[in-house]
Structure 1
């Protein structure tokens, strides 16, 4: 059996031939399959690592290790199979030829690993690679068979010989396909496919070997002594195979350990990547929440400040002008109060869309909160900001459907210009806000540009706010002036109206119209009302000491306090602290304050009335729909506004209104007080038409309490004094 020649059964010698019956040890056959499977598994592990390795040197290393595992597995399987082969003639193996077959297996394995490392090769390339690899495996097998040295001559069955080569090529093609499939999918799926591929590859390699062995026939002369035996140099072969197998197992274990570590690393990287993706999404969400308004999807104040700063820097460099516009919806609160907050939100979304549609792409628009929007627009001409503002006003006037109702909203706009009105973002925003405040105060639905006068006015009001807060904290500077109210039936002094004054250290004596609005806007009107009420109660005690034990005092209540549920409790607390009889105190509330929230006002007034305090409605006739609600209010007195009294001597319309108010009030069992009486003609008309009480400059201006006491003695009849003067 020397040499590499291959003989087929068709060329058997004519005489003296003997076909030997050969056998295989089943346990060694099983072992050969296990070795082939282990080598295949190790190779697949290494092929998978090649997918993740980017370094060229490491890829070469992995290819070499994988080739050693595959070649060693195939070669070890082959020679374990040869050790399992038992023939009735003497057999030994040529070690040089045996090692040469290992080199053939290594070459085929290197080619296999190279093909496995390719990302998704074409089907043609896979078939070509499978043919070359399968041929290499077959070459390794039959070169290993050529290492047999025996007196027997080897012949091969042609069909089985071809089948063994076909199995080798098919196994190679299956291995390449499986390598591509198990790279993708979940980790569990990859593992399942990998182990399945190893079993299939091991079975295919083993099948190829034993198909080749089945094709082998040994022919000896008839006189040859036969005895079933193993190879003569089987010990040497066992040592070589054992060493190779140990190398395969070591490489397999190392590859498995490294693969597991790399898999763990890959899973960690996947988790880290997933966390990074989540962090990116969270950061994007936070960015959206931090810089954009969720309702309108416009920039919010923080996002606006960032974009505005960049735009301002750019315009400062280029020298171009820009306009900063503050927009505020007129009477937006009424929408929330009447139609609900959902309708208010829908209105804000529509307004935001309309503002955006009126602007250019490069302009900036933001919602600052509530119903306040800000626009920053680059200017192409001096008339551009006014034209843009007027366009925005027209956009807002388009009807809007809200809760099944067609609404028409208006907007007030304040504008500041860069660089005329300021060079910083804070200055421009502050000045635009001042201009907006001017628009609100000028009747709304108008546009106002900033001018220095507004800044001076704002600075003055800010200083007044600080000084008023300090005066309240220190209890200094505030005074109560009193104006008498005369009873027209008795002619006597009926009560006094308490009117607060502020003696400012720099601006002198200030009337309420200069500082009440400041107190209301800055949240300390309740503190101011408490001071007035407390001081009036102490003054009532002082009046009692001076002989005015029956005199009553009327105190004005702010409209904001009339919406405070704590008002009745505060009135009761002050009455208790000052030991003032409740029946001597009268609380005046304006008609507009009552009608802003009639149901709450009724509850609060009934609570105050239950204390024994009288109630009066001030400035009657200046509100809306007052007659519909007047009968529901727990009132004692109705005061006719001075605007109806001023021209009563010359205006028949005013006379008719006053006459109707008096008649209506008396029908509701209310006393009537006329304010602003300054002439005897006015006084005579009121007397003739049954007015109960009057007050005005005809009798006295508001003066300090001591001065008033000096003017009017107890039980004096001021009405007679006035009649005597005229």
Structure 2
């Protein structure tokens, strides 16, 4: 291997002089180490950039720059260290061999960068790569040494020669391991690892170089004049090479820093775009939550208001009519009460789908709340709105299977039209709601259009509500009238029914059917019922002082008041305040009021019964008339509704029903009152079939307290049927 000047000490000539006083310039050695450390740091940065590059072209570019930095650093260390070398003979360097050494280290650097830019390396791959790279570095070093030309002959000590190669391999292995390891950890740890790795790599390459120099032995023929010298301009050359290498390294680091910043900005931009995308999705989700009903996926009230405003603007500009429909599911509360709210929710989903299936493409439907829906429909004619309403009602009538039951649901619909019934969403919704109540009040399962009469009626009801509240608060205008009830067996006037009247300053004397519904709808029916209870007890106490100690009074209880647990306590307080024995008070409730919540009604009526108050079921026959609940209630009296009494004597079927009711009531140990008795045929029939009490115009119309006192005074003796008829 003479072309590399590789000779070992075992082949040294017998004659010759060994040069022992070779030295190195310490400043140039330090400079060589600094250059190598800088190149190592740049190499690690380039490897990092290669692993983080987004494209294969980018990875190749950064591997190439890193290879140049590493090759330049190693070669510069070798070149500057050789310039620092001082020997007692003149030394020159062969250009071709020097360039060959540079090419060899460049190949080794390329291999190193390929390995460093891998995301993961197995142990065997890492070791093989270290061997190949280490041998390349050793080849560069010894080819550079082989470029030396002087009168001396180079020999190498085998042990140190092998050690230098081992150091080259271990150096490469350390570089690979550090290059892979320093990527882990946080940013600060990452940077410190990179600094440490650069110092270790610089020291390792320098150790390999100087171990190789240590293994070198220079032999000159005996008698050769010796004088310690170094290469001409060695300092200037070293500084130029170091400067070129460091400028290259700095440029590479600057490019890497700029690329890292650019990549960080791109990643920040990507994160911002991702956040904006997430924000868009979140906004869409919030919009979905804000504008749509979670149960039915229809628009909710907020979403409807937005759609309504847009539709109104569009229809106003085009002069096109728009229908607003309120749809209320009839008797939906029964589903929740009997099957539970989960079943009610499932039913609402089915209803929503059916309503949606009945609509046209541009119609807008929303769940307004509870079991109420609202529809916006563009029209060409009023008849088109009627047909759409009928189509929705028809779709709802198909049987629905729910909780093991098959049921048919119906709907009531109220319709208002733009611009005839209003020009704002508030007006149109209010008028559609009025029309809906008209539909529900006329038997349900139908559709009604808004009209001026409904608006006038609503205005009157609003006025009546305000005036009724004031009358109740100031106790002005409200009166109790009493209708006597005759016991047929004894002929005695043993009972009265208290009937509320309102002496209105404009409309005259109003009966309860004109204002009880207003009190129920506006939440003060309990106060009104309590007023009636106290006034009836007060009047009864007054009558007791007029020689009527056994007279009883029956007071009506509204359906809503019957659901209040405080009712029993209020009844007891009224009796105590006015000093009326409990057995002289009778509370009347209707069938429909009882069926609102039978279990609660049974408990509440039992509490009232325990006070000693009698209980009566009013308007019997107009509601459910079920023995299943009738036998559970703590009742004393049953009142047959006047609609049955009016059938006497014209309807055989109606008379049969009355006879059956009387027989059933007596079987249940209930006493029977027939209300609305107006003629002798009705009286005769009722007496014949064992009716216990009668009330009606045949006996007396409802009387004020003053008129009642005169009536009672006139009829202190038992009334015989013949006398009643003649009177």
TM-score interval, normalised by the smaller of the two chains: 0.7 to 0.9
Residue 127 of structure 2 is matched in structure 1 by: none
Partner of 1:404: 404
Deviations 1:550-599 (A, max 9, x none): 21110000011112222111211222233322111110011222233222
User: Partner of 2:392: helix, strand, or coil?
Assistant: helix
User: Are the equivalent residues in 1 in contact too, given 2:141–2:209 (CA < 8 A)?
Assistant: no
Cα offset for 1:147?
11
Normalised TM-score (structure 1): 0.75
Aligned-pair CA distance for 1:484: 0.7
| Cα distance in 2, alignment partners of residues 228 and 541 from structure 1 | 148
After superposition, give the CA deviation of every residue in 1:467-511 in whole Å (9 maximum; x if it has no partner): 222222232221111111111122121111101111222222211
Contact 2:35-2:242 at 8 Å conserved across structures: no
Match of 1:376 in 2: 376
Cα distance, 1:21 vs. partner? Answer: 11
In the alignment, the residues of structure 1 paired with residue 671 and residue 519 of structure 2 have an alpha-carbon distance, to the nearest angstrom, of 31
CA distance in 2, matches of 1:519, 1:347: 32
Residue 719 of structure 1 is matched in structure 2 by 719
- The alpha carbon displacement at 1:19 in A equals 11
Which residue in the other structure is 1:58 paired with? none
Alpha-carbon RMSD across the aligned residues, in angstroms, is 5.9
Change (3 A) 1:80 1:320: farther
On the 8 A contact 2:44/2:194 being kept in 1, the answer is no
Whole-Å Cα distance in 1 between the matches of residues 272 and 222 of structure 2? 77
Q: Does 1:222 align with 2:221?
A: yes
Structure 1 stretch displaced more, 300-309 or 316-325: 316-325
Q: 2:470 aligns to what SS in structure 1?
A: helix
Q: Which runs of 5+ in 1 are unaligned?
A: 1-5, 54-61, 95-99, 121-136
Task: Give the Å deviation of 1:614.
Answer: 0.8
Q: How many equivalent residue pairs? A: 680
2-structure distance, mates of 1:722, 1:35: 138
Please show how residues 304-703 of structure 1 align to structure 2 within 5 Å: 304-703=304-703
Distance 1:152 1:205 in 2: 29
Range 438-447 or range 715-724, more displaced: 715-724
Say if 1:419 and 1:146 are closer, same or farther in 2 by CA, change over 3 A: farther
| Deviation digits for residues 615-665 of structure 1 (CA, Å, limit 9, x no counterpart) | 111111222242232222111111111111112122222222222222222
Q: Contact (CA 8 Å) 1:323, 1:417: kept in 2 or not?
A: yes
CA 1:345–1:20 in 2, change beyond 3 Å: closer, same or farther?
Answer: farther
Unaligned 5+ segments in structure 2 are 7-12, 54-61, 94-98, 120-136, 156-160
Change in Cα spacing, 1:332 to 1:250, as seen in structure 2 (3 Å) is same
Tell me the distance in 2 between the aligned counterparts of 1:22 and 1:257. 46
Distance (whole Å) between structure 1 residues aligned to residue 463 and residue 618 of structure 2: 30
Per the alignment, residue 708 of structure 2 pairs with 708
CA contact (8 A) 2:320 2:379 kept: yes
Distance in 2 separating the partners of 1:563 and 1:352: 31
Greater CA drift, 539-548 or 300-309:
539-548
Q: 1:582 to 1:21 in 2, by over 3 A?
A: farther
- Partner Cα distance (2:90, 2:558) in 1: 122
Q: Deviations over 1:515-541 (max 9, x none)?
A: 111111121111111111011111111
Check whether the contact 2:591–2:620 (CA below 8 A) recurs between aligned residues: yes
Tell me the equivalent position of 1:127: none
Secondary structure at 2:328 match in 1: strand
Tell me the distance in 2 between the aligned counterparts of 1:573 and 1:458.
37
TM-score, scaled relative to structure 2? 0.75
Cα 1:369–1:244 shift into 2, 3 Å = same
Q: Distance in 1 between matches of 2:23 and 2:299?
A: 83
**CA-to-partner distance for each residue in 1:379-415, whole Å, 9 max, x for gaps?**
2555432222222122212222111222221122222
CA 1:689 to 1:200, structure 2 compared with 1: closer, same or farther past 3 Å?
A: same
Aligned to 1:619, the other structure's residue is in SS state strand
Whether the 8 Å contact between 1:397 and 1:408 is mirrored in structure 2 is yes
Q: 1:204 to 1:696 in 2, by over 3 A?
A: same
Q: Is the 8 A contact 2:78 2:209 kept in 1?
A: no
